[in-house]
Structures are given as C-alpha cells and as structure tokens.
C-alpha cells in the first residue's frame, strides 16, 4: 500500500512522531522538540513531510492523525454518554457554588450542559451562553436566558462569530463556568478549538469569579493550545472534593 511504502522511508524520529500521534490523537511541536532534543523548526519540517505524505494532518502548533477532527471531538451524542456520573458530580458541585440570582456565563460542552440542567432546578438566574444546547436546558419562564452569537457551528450547538466577542467585551458576569479538553501536568488548561478558546478567554475576563468545570478524566492530558493557568480560576470543580 502507498502509506506502507511512505512509512518505510521515514527516519527514526519521524516514525516516532507518527507513532505518538496515532497513540494519543494529537502531538504538539513544542512537546516533540523538547522530547527529542531538537529545534521546533526541525519538528515542523518533520510534520510537514508527514502531512505531505498523507500520514498526518497539520494543525496550528502540532498535528493529528488523519480524520482526527471528528475523533478528537467525538460525536456529541457519544460524548454526552461518557462519564455521566462524573459530569453529574461536577455539575452538582458547581451549582452549589452559585448564589441565587447570580449572572452566569456557561461555556460550551457536555459538562456545561449537565450543569445547566442541574441549575435549571433553581429558578431566578441570569444566564449567558454561546451554546444552543445549554440555552435549551433552561426554562425561559424561570430564568433570563441570553444566547450570544449568530452562527451555529458543529454538532455541539456552539455559536461562533465576532458578535460574541463584542458582546463579551461589554458584559460583566458574577460567574463564568469554563470547560476544557485537558489540564496538563504543569497546570495549563487546554483545548483543541481555537475559536472556542477565544470565547473562553473573553468570558473569563468578563467574570468576577471563574470556575473551571472538568471531570477527573481531563487532568493529566494535553490538547492543542493552553488558554489559562489553573491558578487563574477561583475554584476548580472536578466533582471529587467533599
């Protein structure tokens, strides 16, 4: 097969890069350069070669296996069915931190959706979100629900666009509930989607208090880009604290 012949022509480092990408779904240039003791430019050249050979898909700052966009961002229904008990514990712990009548920004993601469903049981909140699924979890007769953005993108019902950033720049929330794809061993909070990362940062800036909501499985992992340090959050809600 064509790809088998191309693999046979790789040098040892390139083969290792491909193996790591296939094992984890994604590799970063920074991490590979440190691991192999070479420059970022050298790793970038390796990734370009692997991409041109059709063995990897390049992303900003790294690469993933071909077709990994859907692999890494699993089908939404599948994601909703994963670690449900953990997400419920996170949701209940997060909701317990929110005082009645607070204004709350909800990030996109299945943990945010679970938290919204739990919070919906307590009336009187002012909710802002860029997730259609989060908005639909609330009863508008019981809450003031505000959806930010115009264009829906992806299966998770997230909204994107410049309008969101403009709105967030003018708003102030009591709380921002922020999700992530990973928290690495150095305490960097990370995600795969750069457009969503921009929204996360803007929402954090607009909030008096910032809560990171993340199931235990998110810790000790890496993703495409870091958008915050864990120390920037007023509380880390992982559902494990008593």
Q: Check whether residue 24 and residue 111 sit in a common domain.
A: no
Q: Check whether residue 110 and residue 61 sit in a common domain.
A: no
Name the pairing type of β-strands 188-191 and 182-183.
antiparallel
pLDDT digits (tens, 9 = 90+) for 87-133: 999 999 999 999 999 999 999 999 999 999 999 999 999 999 999 88
Residue 226 covered by a domain = yes
Q: In the listed set 16, 40, 71, which residue is the last one of a domain according to the structure? A: 71
Work out how many domains the chain is built from and give that number.
Answer: 2
pLDDT digits (tens, 9 = 90+) for 124-181: 999 999 998 899 899 999 999 999 986 666 666 777 778 899 999 999 999 999 999 9
Give the CATH number of the domain where residue 48 resides: 1.10.10.10
Q: Which string of b and e fits 173-202 if b means at least 16 CB within 10 Å? A: bbbbbbbbbbbbeeebbbbbbeebbebbeb
Residue 208 covered by a domain = yes
Q: Check whether residue 117 and residue 159 sit in a common domain.
A: yes
Q: Check whether residue 89 and residue 58 sit in a common domain.
A: no
Q: Check whether residue 33 and residue 63 sit in a common domain.
A: yes
Q: In terms of Cα–Cα distance, which of 214, 217, 216, 183 is closest to 107? A: 214
Give the CATH number of the domain where residue 182 resides: 3.40.50.1360
Q: Check whether residue 140 and residue 63 sit in a common domain.
A: no
C-alpha to C-alpha distance for 54 and 201, rounded to whole angstroms: 34
C-alpha to C-alpha distance for 77 and 110, rounded to whole angstroms: 9
Q: Check whether residue 60 and residue 98 sit in a common domain.
A: no
Q: Check whether residue 87 and residue 192 sit in a common domain.
A: yes
- Structural domain for 10, as ranges: 2-71
Residue 242 covered by a domain = no
Residue 193 covered by a domain = yes
Q: In the listed set 26, 41, 71, which residue is the last one of a domain according to the structure? A: 71
Q: Tokens standing for 143?
A: 């809450």
pLDDT, residue 188, reads 96
Tell me if the pTM is above 0.75: no
């Amino acid at each position: 097969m064509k790809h088998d012949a191309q693999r046979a022509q790789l040098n040892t480092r390139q083969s290792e890069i491909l193996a790591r990408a296939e094992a984890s779904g994604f590799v970063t240039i920074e991490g590979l350069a440190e691991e192999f003791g070479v420059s970022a430019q050298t790793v970038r050249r390796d990734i370009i070669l692997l991409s041109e050979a059709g063995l990897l898909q390049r992303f900003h700052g790294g690469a993933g296996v071909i077709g990994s966009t859907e692999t890494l961002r699993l089908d939404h229904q599948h994601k909703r069915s994963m670690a449900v008990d953990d997400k419920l514990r996170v949701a209940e712990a997060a909701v317990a931190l929110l005082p009645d009548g607070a204004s709350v920004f909800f990030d996109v993601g299945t943990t945010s959706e679970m938290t919204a469903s739990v919070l919906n049981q307590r009336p009187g909140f002012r909710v802002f979100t860029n997730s259609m699924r989060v908005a639909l979890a609330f009863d508008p007769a019981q809450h003031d629900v505000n959806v930010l953005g115009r264009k829906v993108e992806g299966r998770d019902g997230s909204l994107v666009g410049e309008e969101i950033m403009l709105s967030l720049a003018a708003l102030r929330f009591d709380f921002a509930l922020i999700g992530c794809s990973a928290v690495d061993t150095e305490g960097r909070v990370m995600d795969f989607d750069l457009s969503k990362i921009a929204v996360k940062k803007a929402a954090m800036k607009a909030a008096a208090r910032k809560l990171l909501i993340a199931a235990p499985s998110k810790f000790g992992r890496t993703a495409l880009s870091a958008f915050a340090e864990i120390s920037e959050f007023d509380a880390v809600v992982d559902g494990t604290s008593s």
